[in-house]
């Protein structure tokens, strides 16, 4: 039996998070959840798909804990039930059935699809900073046009955005053979447009983009900035596709609101899911190095991999460059890879080492100063909203700045586990995309750390 009190609690939870999320995010993710049942042991929530569960737990675990019952160990007792899909088979969006049935799989010759064969989901190493984006990408690729449209991914250079975009392309090609895909950089789109204008074949291009494709993957949308005429054409294409429920994925180096584009364009890009791709933290960088080394038949010991990952940390492409260089060197000289060899061969690449090693202790001091909390409280169990945020910031900075395994870091925060740390990183990463105050507070902590 559903207790009125429980209904109230859920309504209060929704009310609380509504004030803290954008209308689009609330409409897409939270409003579709319904409360099915409440027993003394658990709360049962019905969700439209499994991503909603992930989103809810990644973004609102603290709030859920505050509103819903928890078990003896403090864990949430929520059971999720995915709503039954009654009409269409799950992997065939109704909106795309028509085009699948009627269209041959060939694309026009002048709009060839270019995907990098190395960029697949299987080769994309995930860690706390890119896990959410990767699962959103898999979700889109599994059910194009059905979940979040558009999917907008932003992040710094060399973080794996293009890799993920092409992975979506490959997945769709193999899982939905009849769907027609176009994957294009914004620059190539503009060049195409110019060529077609010159050749008076613009109608053909418009037809191709607006009605002959089912999935549009667009890389580096930042190149659309300050290209007024092209922006309008792109926006029209975008709207035409979205109106037909065709999937769009957009990659950018900044979030939509920071792009110098028209309000109309920015609003369109914020319609679906905007996800930030963070730079991989130390352990993920080590896993990436090991993966790339293995692909090249190169043996890399763990200490050497850690050494490289500690010294190259702001671009995955450079990690790849390091492996290529080491591989060429070892093949020529048939030498084993040691830390000394790495220091010699990768000399210029390793210049990025931070001058000063930062410790968790220093981070705790700086966070305590900026957030005006007691240092001991940051390591303690108390969970006021303000304290939880400060603690999560300290954990996030520890993961980013202290080059030690997660397990060791977790130990420095009292009796915390490594998954608490991962959750903190994810939660701060996500808040950072929309919360200017938090960005400034974290910058202040970082300044405090280096003075
Ligand atoms: P971006 O588009 O964000 O600038 P790319 O997708 O071009 O970055 O990635 C740069 C290189 O790093 C690529 O070769 C890509 O395969 C590799 N890379 C980035 N992130 C990962 C990851 N998580 N796992 C494996 N390889 C990665
Ligand atoms: Mg790229």
Q: Is residue 399 part of a domain?
A: yes
Q: Is residue 354 part of a domain?
A: no
Q: How many domains does the chain have?
A: 4
Domain span including residue 423? 360-450
Pocket of ligand 1 (CB under 6 A): 119, 123-125, 130, 155, 157-163, 280, 288, 316-317, 320
Closest residue to atom 25 of ligand 1, CA basis: 124
Single out the residue in 276, 301, 331 at which a domain terminates.
276
Q: Is residue 101 part of a domain?
A: no
Ligand with minimal distance to 160 CA? 1
280/125 Cα distance (integer angstroms): 9
155 and 42 belong to one structural domain: no
165 and 294 belong to one structural domain: no
Single out the residue in 217, 241, 276 at which a domain terminates.
276
- What pLDDT score was predicted for residue 124? 97
| Cβ neighbours for 346, distance < 8 A, ≥ 6 positions apart | 308, 311, 312, 322, 325, 326
Ligand 1, closest atom to CA 118? 16
Q: Is residue 98 part of a domain?
A: no
Reduced to 3 states, what is the DSSP secondary structure of residue 252? strand
Ligand 1, closest atom to CA 165? 6
261 and 289 belong to one structural domain: no
270 and 197 belong to one structural domain: yes
Instruction: Calculate the CA 129 to chain-centre distance.
Output: 7
242 and 319 belong to one structural domain: no
323 and 391 belong to one structural domain: no
- What pLDDT score was predicted for residue 7? 65
Cis check: omega of the bond before 307, within 30 degrees of 0: no
Residues with CB under 5 A from ligand 2 (ion): 162
Q: Is residue 250 part of a domain?
A: yes
CATH number at residue 445: 1.10.1750.10
CB atoms within 10 A of CB 62: 16
| Cβ neighbours for 86, distance < 8 A, ≥ 6 positions apart | none
- What pLDDT score was predicted for residue 353? 56
What are the tokens at 249? 């994925």
CB atoms within 10 A of CB 232: 13
Ligand 1, closest atom to CA 280? 23
CATH number at residue 303: 1.10.8
Ligand 1 pocket mutation, candidates 119, 153, 160, 317, criterion most atoms within 8 A of CB: 160
**Nearest to residue 49, comparing CAs of 140, 121, 120?**
140
- What pLDDT score was predicted for residue 99? 31
The DSSP code sequence of 339-353 is: HHHHHHHTTTGGGG-
CATH number at residue 187: 3.40.50.300
267 and 290 belong to one structural domain: no
Q: Please tell me the distance between residue 161's alpha carbon and the centre of ligand 1 in angstroms.
A: 6
217 and 287 belong to one structural domain: no
**Nearest to residue 152, comparing CAs of 196, 202, 216?**
216
The DSSP code sequence of 295-353 is: HTT----HHHHHHHHHH--S-HHHHHHHHHHHHHHHHHH-----HHHHHHHTTTGGGG-
263 and 119 belong to one structural domain: yes
Give the angle 158-337-299 at the CA atoms, nearest 5°.
75
Single out the residue in 301, 317, 345 at which a domain terminates.
345
Q: Is residue 104 part of a domain?
A: no
What pLDDT tens digit does each residue of the chain (451 aa) get?
A: 455 566 677 888 888 888 777 776 787 678 888 888 877 778 889 887 766 787 788 778 888 887 777 777 778 888 888 776 533 333 333 222 223 333 333 333 345 678 999 999 999 999 988 999 999 999 999 999 998 999 999 999 999 999 999 999 999 999 998 999 999 999 888 888 888 888 888 888 899 999 899 999 999 999 999 887 789 889 999 999 999 999 999 999 999 999 999 999 999 999 999 999 988 988 999 999 999 999 988 999 999 999 999 888 888 999 999 999 999 888 877 788 899 999 988 888 885 555 567 899 999 999 999 999 999 999 988 999 999 999 999 999 999 888 788 888 998 998 888 889 999 999 999 998 888 889 888 988 988 887 6
318 and 364 belong to one structural domain: no
133 and 161 belong to one structural domain: yes
Q: Please tell me the distance between residue 320's alpha carbon and the centre of ligand 1 in angstroms.
A: 9
Name the pTM for this structure: 0.62
Q: Is residue 99 part of a domain?
A: no
- What pLDDT score was predicted for residue 24? 65
Q: Is residue 196 part of a domain?
A: yes
60/57 Cα distance (integer angstroms): 6
115 and 239 belong to one structural domain: yes
């Amino acid at each position: 039996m559903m207790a009125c009190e429980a209904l109230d609690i859920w309504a209060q939870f929704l009310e609380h998070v509504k004030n803290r999320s954008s209308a689009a995010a609330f409409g897409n993710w939270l409003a579709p959840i319904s409360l099915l049942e409440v027993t003394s042991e658990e709360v049962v929530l019905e969700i439209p798909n499994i991503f909603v569960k992930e989103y809810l737990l990644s973004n609102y675990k603290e709030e859920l804990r505050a509103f819903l019952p928890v078990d003896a160990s403090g864990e949430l007792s929520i059971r999720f039930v995915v709503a039954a899909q009654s009409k269409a088979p799950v992997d065939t969006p109704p909106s795309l059935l028509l085009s699948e049935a009627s269209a041959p799989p060939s694309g026009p010759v002048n709009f060839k699809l270019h995907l990098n064969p190395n960029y697949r989901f299987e080769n994309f190493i995930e860690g706390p900073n890119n896990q959410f984006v990767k699962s959103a990408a898999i979700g889109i690729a599994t059910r194009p046009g059905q979940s979040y449209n558009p999917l907008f991914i932003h992040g710094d250079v060399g973080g794996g955005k293009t890799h993920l975009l092409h992975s979506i392309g490959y997945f769709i090609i193999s899982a939905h053979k009849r769907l027609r895909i176009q994957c294009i950089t914004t620059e190539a789109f503009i060049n195409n447009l110019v060529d077609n204008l010159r050749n008076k074949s613009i109608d053909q291009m418009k037809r191709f983009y607006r009605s002959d494709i089912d999935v549009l993957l667009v890389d580096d949308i930042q190149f659309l900035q300050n290209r007024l005429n092209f922006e309008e054409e792109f926006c029209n294409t975008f709207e035409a596709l979205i109106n037909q429920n065709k999937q769009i994925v957009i990659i950018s180096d900044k979030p939509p609101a920071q792009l110098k584009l028209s309000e109309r364009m920015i609003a369109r890009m914020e319609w679906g899911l905007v996800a930030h791709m963070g730079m991989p933290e130390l352990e993920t960088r080590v896993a990436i190095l090991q993966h790339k080394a293995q692909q090249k038949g190169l043996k890399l010991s763990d200490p050497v991999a850690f050494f490289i990952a500690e010294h190259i940390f702001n671009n995955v492409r450079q990690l790849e460059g390091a492996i290529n260089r080491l591989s060429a060197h070892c093949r020529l000289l048939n030498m084993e890879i040691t830390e000394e060899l790495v220091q010699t061969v990768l000399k210029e690449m390793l210049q990025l080492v931070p001058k000063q090693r930062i410790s968790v202790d220093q981070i705790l001091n700086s966070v305590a100063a900026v957030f005006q909390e007691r240092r001991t409280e940051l390591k303690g169990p108390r969970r006021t909203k303000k304290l939880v945020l400060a603690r999560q910031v300290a954990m996030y900075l520890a993961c980013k700045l202290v080059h030690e395994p997660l397990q060791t870091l977790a130990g420095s925060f009292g009796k915390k586990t490594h998954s608490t740390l991962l959750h903190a990183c994810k939660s701060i990463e996500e808040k950072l995309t929309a919360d200017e105050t938090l960005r400034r507070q974290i910058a202040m902590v970082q300044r405090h750390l280096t003075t």
